[in-house]
Structure 1
Amino acid sequence: MSKAYRLLLSAALLSVAVPALAKAPPSPQEAGQSVEEFKKGLHPQTGTITLPGAKARLNLGQSYYFLGPDAARKVLVDAWGNPADAADGVLGMIFPAGKDFADSWGAVVTFEETGHITDEDAASEDYASVLKDMQKATEEANADRVAAGYHKLHLAGWAQAPTYDSSKKVLVWARDLAAEGEPEHSLNYDVRSLGRTGVLSLNMVDGMSNLSLVKAAAGQLGQTVQFDSGARYADFVPGTDSEAGYGLAGLVAAGAGVAAAKKVGLIGLILAFGKKLAVLLAVAAGGAWKWLKGRFGKGDEDGDASAA
């Protein structure tokens, strides 16, 4: 395994072991705004979505809708209680038609200028070894998590082993994550579309009980990405364009860190709404539903908990 890959693994998992915990901003209700009023201010878009910052577009049709950067920030920070800097660099969010931030997964859209990532070894990448190294690093970081007041986190395995579409240049994988004290494992889906010198990322979090639903959506969303002419993977010019220095296995390791450090991944502050629980490390396990009810006033606490 290359030195470059091991450096990526270290940066991806160890550096995000203990995230800074910021005070959650007021919920819409606390700010004197109803949830319905909050939703009306999000301005969802359908059809073809242009992403100038990524030199790409999303062909969503009517099956999904897109929230731009400002609306995505409102969801991530005001509704889901993430720290304000969690929305930095977010190009938007994608939700399934007919659903919203209160009852569904949302795919966070970001773009990173990584340099060109080679897929020359796509058929021979050893993802089993990648998983073992990620699991080891996760366990080693638990001491720091506990010292900082968080629950231990365990990477149970792949919910979907990394799968690469060589024609579309899309890499998809998912992790099965368990936080001590949480009854349901968290599902963390990563979709990466490779461009000329950068990667468009879609990150989705849900409960493992919704694996089949999110897996289908992840596969579909990966097919909606289209880079502009001149920014496509095939437009890479060897010797002229910058290169990442790693391949698909390195992208998987880096993805673990990107998801966790930025917004909705390994140990983020995201809350899963409705009848599912995600990795609630910022809230004591017994108080998760109470915290959720306090932000959105969702029904009776006992009734909600029994329905989970």
Structure 2
Amino acid sequence: MNARRILAAMLAAALLFVGITALQAQETDGQKQAVALQAAVDAMQKVLQPGPVEVKLAGRASLQVPTGAGFVRQPEAGAWAKVVGYDKDVSLLNPDLMGIAIPMSEENWVVFINYHAGTRVVDDSAKDWDPDALLNALKASNEAGNVPRQQRGEPQIEVRGWLEAPKYDSAAHKLIWATSTIEKGGDADEGTANVHAYALGKDSYFELTMVSPANEVVSHLTMAEALLSGLQFGGGQQYGDAVSGGDIKERSLTSLIATLPSSFMDKATAFAAAYWLWLAIGLVILIIVLVGLPRLLRRGDAM
């Protein structure tokens, strides 16, 4: 089959699913969102940088995007995220969002890359970490967020456990950990998993947040680790460099684990539970076909 027809068939199938869903609900919202999603994907396709490639972040660091992933800059990344469920008041869509990493194959994950300036993360608490105590603190933080959720009539959620207990590399000044987050009483396989990774600089840090279905995230941890490993602060911006001038806040390394904002927990759960996320990622995968279209066309025309 001609590659152009393959691409058209894939897109038609995805949009047909949205159309059927909207028809069954006797609403047009699904169709409108499909149009918005297609526009967002079209914009992303124009700026997608497939790995391996180096991208600059905030003038402070570089990211080596590995094979198997691609990078989408702002504002195209934020526009896509808004269409698939993140509100403006969520930290992932504030000006700190540098872009997103997406899969270049049929995998279900997305990584949001945020930059937090004016904050030095003090890492001396890592040596005293107790994984069980950290998990209990994270659960307590989440439970506190369940109170307003219940008042709003929204589902309560729970942190079921570590998928990856916190690991801090004191030489590279990088932290990674992962949990599963599900509705209370739900099946763990139906929940979402969030991989949280941090690279620390002298007076700022990068936060990488991977969202994936809980039953798949273990297979994506390697990619999260590769992205974190590929993020390096430039000269004069590294953790050991002298901090001078400015209003620099301090926060503990432990706080990056135990005090996630409830708004993020709410949105991460709703985002990954909704069929829109995985339909959206499915459409993003169409970009892969577009990126490789000349090669595919040569093969297709020869068939």
The answer, yes or no, to whether TM exceeds 0.5 is yes
Q: Which runs of 5+ in 1 are unaligned?
A: 1-25, 273-277, 281-287, 299-308
Give the structure with higher Rg (CA).
2
- Cα offset for 1:172? 0.2
- Cα offset for 1:236? 3.1
Q: Structure 2 CA distance, aligned partners of 1:208 and 1:245?
A: 33
Inter-CA distance 217–269: structure 2 relative to 1 (3 Å threshold): closer
Q: Structure 2 CA distance, aligned partners of 1:137 and 1:252?
A: 10
Say yes or no: does 1:202 pair with 2:208: yes
Conserved 8 A contact 2:56-2:62: yes
Q: Structure 1 CA distance, aligned partners of 2:36 and 2:250?
A: 49
Say yes or no: does 1:249 pair with 2:254: yes
Q: Structure 1 CA distance, aligned partners of 2:88 and 2:159?
A: 27
Say yes or no: does 1:166 pair with 2:166: no
- Cα offset for 1:125? 2.2
Deviations 1:209-256 (A, max 9, x none): 11322211111111010111111112134x7676644432122224x2
Q: 3-state DSSP class of the match of 1:141?
A: helix
- Residue of 68, 75, 78 corresponding to 1:70: 75
- Cα offset for 1:114? 4.9
User: What corresponds to 1:217 in structure 2?
Assistant: 223
Number of matched residues? 247
Q: 3-state DSSP class of the match of 1:150?
A: coil
Q: Structure 1 CA distance, aligned partners of 2:76 and 2:269?
A: 16
More strand by share: 2
- Residue of 73, 98, 103 corresponding to 1:96: 103
More helix by share: 2
Conserved 8 A contact 2:182-2:269: no
Q: 3-state DSSP class of the match of 1:235?
A: coil
Q: Which runs of 5+ in 2 are unaligned?
A: 1-28, 284-303
Q: Structure 2 CA distance, aligned partners of 1:56 and 1:155?
A: 32
Inter-CA distance 155–117: structure 2 relative to 1 (3 Å threshold): same
- Cα offset for 1:160? 1.0
Q: Specify the code of the residue in structure 2 equivalent to 1:162.
A: P
Q: Specify the code of the residue in structure 1 equivalent to 2:257.
A: V
User: What corresponds to 1:175 in structure 2?
Assistant: 179
- Cα offset for 1:40? 2.9
Q: Structure 2 CA distance, aligned partners of 1:36 and 1:200?
A: 29
Inter-CA distance 243–121: structure 2 relative to 1 (3 Å threshold): farther
Q: Structure 2 CA distance, aligned partners of 1:120 and 1:32?
A: 48
Deviations 1:189-225 (A, max 9, x none): 1000001111101001112111322211111111010
Q: 3-state DSSP class of the match of 1:266?
A: helix
TM-score normalised by the chain length of structure 1: 0.69
- Residue of 52, 56, 64 corresponding to 1:59: 64
Conserved 8 A contact 2:158-2:183: yes
Q: Tell me the C-alpha RMSD between the 2 structures.
A: 3.2
Say yes or no: does 1:137 pair with 2:141: yes
Q: Structure 2 CA distance, aligned partners of 1:246 and 1:208?
A: 29
- Residue of 48, 51, 72 corresponding to 1:44: 48
User: What corresponds to 1:268 in structure 2?
Assistant: 267
Q: Structure 2 CA distance, aligned partners of 1:206 and 1:293?
A: 9
User: What corresponds to 1:8 in structure 2?
Assistant: none
Q: Which moved more, 1:133-142 or 1:68-77?
A: 133-142
Q: 3-state DSSP class of the match of 2:80?
A: helix
